[in-house]
Chains A and B, each alone.
Chain A
Amino acid sequence: MSAVIDDHGHEGHAHGPAKGLMRWVLTTNHKDIGTLYLWFSFCMFLLGGSFAMVIRAELFQPGLQIVEPAFFNQMTTMHGLVMVFGAVMPAFVGLANWMIPLMIGAPDMALPRMNNFSFWLLPAAFLLLVSTLFTPGGGPNFGWTFYAPLSTTYAPESVTYFIFAIHLMGISSIMGAINVVATILNLRAPGMTLMKMPLFVWTWLITAFLLIAVMPVLAGCVTMMLMDIHFHTSFFSAAGGGDPVLFQHVFWFFGHPEVYIMILPAFGAVSSIIPAFSRKPLFGYTSMVYATASIAFLSFIVWAHHMFVVGIPLVGELFFMYATMLIAVPTGVKVFNWVSTMWQGELTFETPMLFAVAFVILFTIGGFSGLMLAIAPADFQYQDTYFVVAHFHYVLVPGAIFGIFASAYYWLPKWTGHMYDETLGKLHFWLSFIGMNMAFFPMHFVGLAGMPRRVPDYNLQFADFNMVSSIGAFTFGATQIFFLFIVIKTIRGGPPAPAKPWDGAEGLEWTVPSPAPYHTFVTPPEVK
């Protein structure tokens, strides 16, 4: 009984993958598309990473050595944009594509052709964005938050391409998210009730909702910019009755949910990995689901914590301060549950678990610095310093990125049919762990001491910590090339992986052989 009915005749019967390059260009298979997303994301990770290397090289010592300040600004901007929209988000969409159908027992994603479209729009968007670096006026230089009027009145010409690139990314994200929602709500195997879904599926369902809710707002935001730049509107110009602060409200209404878009799927993955290596079921499944939902809800009403110093009214400061702190409650529930899952478990520390445990510890540090920033009067001091940079790198690198690494090691056997080299994996972990802490921990100190962010040069007093940061960053950066090597090695060979390589792992994805056949769950499994 086949779920694949092919009426077109081309390709005969679509049971195995097609041959050659066109397999990847024309594919509608969720595993192919997942793979494409993951590779694309890794390329962007290296590209965004190389921009970061330029930044850290310039900041290695005080004074201007390597790049012009104007180019430095383009680097910080592009680093942020490429990492957020090119590396982190697509990696999670790739994981969603690979794993959600396998986890809920679906034959594929609900809308397979649109799935392909969502993916291919991304390379197009980044071609448009990154190519602006080579134009005479240079690429975007106004920071990844592109505040008006820096990004309108005073922007380089390339801002227009930037706007259209954001539109393409937005269309891609919205279609991808719609696909995820339709798949989860409609393609679950019989018996797979909502409250039986793995948490990765739950967190992605909620992430997809966030994406559909806020990507259009970002589209509206850049559209207003486009109009201000080219059609003489005054959305962000007070001379016409508009307001630059309006820009920040619209941007952060998107921006804060966006940071949860980048972390919720990692929460989900870690919630599968920790039980697997603790050989215990996840502690507090139901509370995890509700915590995720509350985080998503709260993420809509905290955006102005990015704007404490623009002059919002006192009640606004207070409201956004307390609302932000409230997020620490569901976040704390999650951390508590992960720790309780490990409590008295039979722990082993294979690479996925190492990344997952580091995730729990280091993400929590990022959460704590977030709480410090959430205190409005304290934020008056911290805002726009390296302390903020330290905060968001602690939630994004050992948070989102470690979550992705943990997932990659956890599911690589399922994807490739080979076990990765455990020694090399551990080495990758420790080098990343040391490099990343060395790069970002000192930023707390220089930040508290007043070093502003987004500067190519700085006061002599910050020199030592910055040099440490740079060395850590280079270590972290180089280590990722090593990760590439590990992955390629695993794809090309290695001990064959059993269907379920982790004895404590649970879920439908481990009931299919490794590597997962091209089509799985053509007939849905029965879930008890």
Chain B
Amino acid sequence: MATHEHYYVPAQSKWPIIATVGMFITMYGLGTWFIDMKAGRESHGPIFFAIGGLIVAYIMFGWFGTVIKESRAGLYSAQMDRSFRWGMSWFIFSEVMFFVAFFGALFYVRNITGPALGGEGPKGIAHMLWPNFQYVWPLLHTPDPTLFPPPKEIIDPWHLPLINTVLLVSSSVTVTIAHHALKKGHRGALKLWLALTVLLGLAFLMLQAMEYHEAYTELGLTLGSGIYGATFFMLTGFHGAHVTIGTIILFVMLMRILRGHFDAEHQFGFEAASWYWHFVDVVWVGLFVFVYVL
């Protein structure tokens, strides 16, 4: 393994410490903001949050910029490339586990909590808490409707969500086509298919926003409408946040490609973006099946 001899160990870096300060200010700001909001007080939280967010955005440009520069300067070896690959794969695995927590919560309330509150099974004694409650999923009646007013209706899976499924699944295909184009050196096709992927991502997000709007304004389906709304918005919301991040990453890749970055050998950045995109896509399929349809 001769590649060992060129393992790049960067000299000191200012980015991590700035990132830490940025994250700290962001978290402090967000926390303060939430606390004050709940207490109905004036808050300096949003300002801190904004400052912290700007710092974080700044270091993202700076840090990733440095990495790109180093990579293009040829400082990275094949071994370095493998480190990045391992890093990205395990990062995606951690993301998967994050969603596992929410999917787990969904399965738990549907299969265990709900029936118990409805009076079924050995824990059905919980029914005496709210004797009028009948458990039917989707939860159009909550145990305590004054505290958690239930939704009037839920999102019909066969309209917007179905379209979104088509959009996202085809975007996984287009990004793969773009990847093949990159490997073959067809830059024109690469740009075209990648741009199309970004557009599909944007379209998905727009439809998702429309769906949320409809849920809040017409269906009474909100974060506060009982556990259906809670799991619905947490799962689709975090997924939407990941689509947003993925779209931004793909957009950055598009910009880099327009500047002539990447070739058949050097394309880890692009591949990482596409892995992330496939992950987001797979999560969506899970969402479509378990949140919308079933």
Contact = CB atoms under 8 A, between A and B. Distances in A.
A-B interaction:
yes
Interface of A: 1, 3-8, 10-11, 14, 18, 22-23, 25-29, 106-108, 110-114, 116-117, 120-121, 124, 127-128, 157, 160-161, 163-165, 167-168, 171, 174, 177-179, 181-183, 185-187, 189-190, 212-217, 219-221, 223-224, 226-227, 229-235, 237-243, 245-246, 249-250, 253, 311, 313-314, 519, 523-524
Contact of A242 (B38, B121, B230): B230
Given A11-B11, A168-B24, A234 B226 contact: yes
Contact of B109 (A127, A243, A519): A243
B228 A160 contact: no
Given A160-B35, A217-B101, A234-B227, A240 B24 contact: no
A237 B126 CA distance: 13
Nearest to A8: B11
B19 interface: yes
Contacts of A231: 223-224
Given A229-B38, A239-B143, A121 B7 contact: no
Q: Which 7 A-B pairs have the closest CB atoms?
A: A220-B101, A240-B148, A232-B224, A241-B227, A117-B16, A233-B230, A239-B144
Given A212-B93, A217-B98, A227-B223, A110 B87 contact: yes
B37 interface: yes
B31 A163 contact: yes
Given A116-B17, A217-B98, A178 B90 contact: yes
A71 B100 CA distance: 36
B4 A523 contact: yes
Describe B's contact surface by its main secondary structure. Answer: helix
B24 A127 contact: yes
B20 A3 contact: no
Contacts of A224: 101-102, 105, 234
A120 B93 CA distance: 23
B11 A14 contact: yes
Nearest to B139: A241
Contacts, number: 261
Interface string B91-123: 101110110111011001100111001000111
Contacts of B223: 227, 231-233
A117 B19 CA distance: 8
B217 interface: no
B28 A128 contact: yes
B104 A253 contact: yes
A151 to B, nearest CB: 15
B109 A246 contact: yes
A185 B105 CA distance: 33
Given A10-B11, A235-B230, A242-B113, 10 more contacts: A6-B11, A107-B9, A117-B16, A164-B31, A174-B91, A182-B90, A187-B7, A235-B231, A246-B113, A250-B101
Contacts of A524: 1, 4-5
